[in-house]
Amino acid sequence: MDPAVFPEEIWIKILLYCDVPDIIAFGSTCKYLRKTSDTDYLWKMKWLQLISKVHFRFPDIKCLQLLSVSFKAMCYRLHMVITLGENVPFPKCYHCSGYTCQRNCVEGSSAKVVIEIGNKYTWVITPNFGLRRHFSMFGIPKYNSKTHMEQAQTQNAPGSSTRSKSDAKSLAKRLKLLKLSELGTAKISRPSGPFCVFCNTVKLYREKKRLITHQNDPLCYTRPNPIYQKLINGYCTDTVDVFGIPNVDVVSPAEALLCEGTFPVLKTFIDHLFHQMSLTATLRKPNTVLMFCEPLAMHPTLRKQLLHYLFQEVKVARVCLVPKPLAACAMLDVETCVVIDSGALSTTVAVVIGGRVIPQRWRLLPVGGWHVAYHLKQAMHWQPKEYHQIPISYLDVLAVKERCRLSYNIKNEEKRFGQKASEQINLRVDSYANKPYKVSLGPELYIAPEMMYISLRLPEVIKDVTSGLPEDIMHDCLSHILLTGGNTDLSGFELRLTKDLRELLPEYSKILEVKSCPGTHSWNVAMGSTYVPLAVHPGKH
């Protein structure tokens, strides 16, 4: 039948009885119906139809038209929020008794949940201002791809279930005759699926047991997975070695934030955080806001996938994506500055003007606090052989870092150190055997930080990102250089950077000021996010 037999008005009335995905699919049948199913009038009517079924408060049609929104996209998103996943009732707000909070309710009494995924730790702040920490790592069991494919093909083959039963019986009889029946009862455990190697001890034990079962076939576990290879950092490698699980890919969700095609890893990790800390019900409350701290290098596709997941699957009420440098600005109430966020594996230098990160004026440097531990490990070749096995991550701890220092003048340090003996540092390396090591470190305590700092080239980078700014803005930026991130906790970091900047930029030496955010620098970004004001559009509630 020719669809043009019916006028467009009739088709629109018919389509209004269909679900949103069906209308979208309907448009792919022919050119005439594609044009009909894409009309703005149809999707406006469908939008009014959908919002009549929910208790949420939305801006009126005129306001939405002024914002140039796509009604088709809005219909699809609302349909997914309503239908996707578990069918749970949406709660009311305790303060205004509505399903969508009024503006004053959001700004005045909102509860904030903060998530900041760093290279080493993930920090979570709950509405009662509880600060929690989790390692930024997750385990994904490996498997023998050839064996897995063979098993899958056998299981999916027609009649395989009946055939497998008879084959199993005949195999058991043969083994019994050969007095090898114990082989028949040996079970090959399957991979557990993604799990947290720190929280799920049952699955960790299962994977270690699976490794013992296949100890004569190590090749099936040592094949690198190309998808996960780019998500493995030094902490991941050390965790595999310490736990003794070469059959598990330990990956970093922080690395997944920067790559396209790695969203499943990020989703699994966030799911685990929500479940472990019982946050899902809280996030669905109308006055609760999820403050997600995003790195400046976050991939745009991944940002879109994250928002779809949070709204459609988790069904959170509100999300605020906070660029990490702005969290430091909010903590110190500064709108124009240079933010240096030096973490475990990387350092970000960003120029912020008027509360906005300038896109062309930020740099990501692949150097951080882990590299101090790396240089310490390199200097331990003269220690007894048993100390050579100490993982780098176990040197990246407070017991070691508080003894390290970034020298104000390296030449004077060398003269002064000749009068001082090496320092003894106690390390607890094996968390299962509780095996302590006493490491003796001497000049490495200032040489390792020096090598890390030289690799950073911070003064040159700051000069580069501020070059060409108007004089008044340059004055504001250089008089407000903010330090955050765990690596900036290193003794002498602030003084050394100030000294080097004054030597590099003598014309600004009188106004140069380097400030540290208050508190422990590791969680500055997470805590600073609680100070970020919630911008609500005047026409929205």
d(CA 179, CA 406): 69
DSSP one-letter code for 141: E
Residue 117's nearest CA partner among 201, 202, 233, 227 is: 233
Handedness of CA 443, 449, 450, 451 (dihedral sign): positive
Q: How far apart are CA 19 and CA 36, in angstroms?
A: 16
Per-position pLDDT tens, the chain of length 541 = 566 677 878 888 888 888 888 888 887 778 777 888 888 888 888 888 888 888 888 888 888 888 888 888 888 888 888 887 667 777 777 777 777 777 677 667 668 899 999 999 999 998 876 889 999 999 998 865 444 444 334 444 444 444 444 554 554 554 454 444 443 344 445 556 899 999 998 998 888 888 777 665 555 565 667 778 889 999 999 999 888 888 889 999 999 999 888 999 999 999 999 999 999 988 988 888 899 999 999 999 999 999 999 998 999 988 999 999 999 999 888 999 999 999 999 999 999 999 999 999 999 999 999 999 999 888 877 766 667 778 888 888 888 888 888 888 777 776 665 555 566 666 665 544 455 667 777 788 888 999 999 999 999 999 999 999 999 999 999 999 999 998 999 999 999 999 999 999 999 999 999 998 876 778 888 888 888 887 643 333 3
In the beta sheet, which residues pair with residue 356?
353
3-state DSSP of 458-487: HHHHHHHHHCCCCHHHHHHHHCCEEEECHH
CB 330 within 8 Å of CB 528: yes
> In the chain, where are the structural domains located?
8-85, 369-455
Instruction: Report the DSSP beta bridge partners of residue 296.
Output: none
Q: Cα dist. 451→347, 382, 383, 457 in Å? A: 15, 19, 20, 10
pLDDT of residue 195: 92
Residue closest to 425 by CA, chosen among 404, 446, 450, 448: 404
Interatomic CA distance for residues 351 and 353, integer angstroms: 7
Write the CB contacts of 267 (distance below 8 Å, at least 6 apart in sequence).
305, 309
pLDDT for position 178: 43
The residue behind tokens 């920090």 is: 123
What pLDDT score does 33 carry?
A: 78
CA–CA gap between residue 229 and residue 251 (Å, rounded): 8
What residues have CB less than 8 Å from 477, skipping those under 6 apart? Answer: 336, 337, 338, 351, 353, 466, 469
- Placement of tokens 């470190």 in the chain: 441
Instruction: Say which CATH topology domain 8-85 has.
Output: Monooxygenase (1.20.1280)
pLDDT for 150: 41
Question: Is the domain 369-455 a CATH 3.90.640.10 member?
Answer: yes
pLDDT of residue 326: 93
| Residue 428 Cα distances to 15, 83, 117, 399, angstroms | 67, 50, 26, 10
Q: Within 224-290, where are the H helices?
A: 226-229, 234-243, 253-256, 263-276, 280-283
> Distance between CA atoms of 399 and 386, rounded to whole angstroms?
20
